Amino acid sequence: MVEFSLILQVLINGLIAGGILALVSVGYTLIYGILRFINFAHGEVVTTGAFLLFFFFSQLNLPLPIAAVMTVGLTSLVGLTINHFVYSALRNAPSLSLLVAAIAASLIIQA
């Protein structure tokens, strides 16, 4: 017989994972809905934020609120840097150019 606490923990973990996926999906939807642009680097920026939070909280032993604030700031800086150096020069270019630039930004962040 499976314990009630184990079932409850699995349900809570599923809700947390679903919430994270929903948050990323809303970001994709907002970007596409406003700019009509598929940002392939969106997932990599979110993953960069997750790794930064992990690093600040578990490796540098910072308190969670301070680590979260630093993560939001640095992840925003990553997004603004990508926008400035990759996307802003291609705003009036054909959509295929933006698509290729988004794939390139994604691959660069992955590397």
Query: At what angle are helices 42-54 and 95-110 packed, to 10 degrees?
Result: 20
Whole-structure pTM value: 0.79
pLDDT digits (tens, 9 = 90+) for 6-56: 999 999 999 999 999 999 999 889 888 887 888 888 889 999 999 999 999
CA torsion, ordered 37, 40, 46, 47, to nearest 10 deg: 180
Judge residue 46's burial from the number of C-beta atoms within 10 Å of its C-beta, 0-12 exposed, 13-18 middle, 19 or more buried: middle
pLDDT digits (tens, 9 = 90+) for 70-101: 999 999 999 999 989 888 888 888 878 888 99
Taking the C-alpha atoms of residue 17 and residue 1, their distance in angstroms, rounded to an integer, is 25
| pLDDT score, position 94 | 82
DSSP code of 91?
T
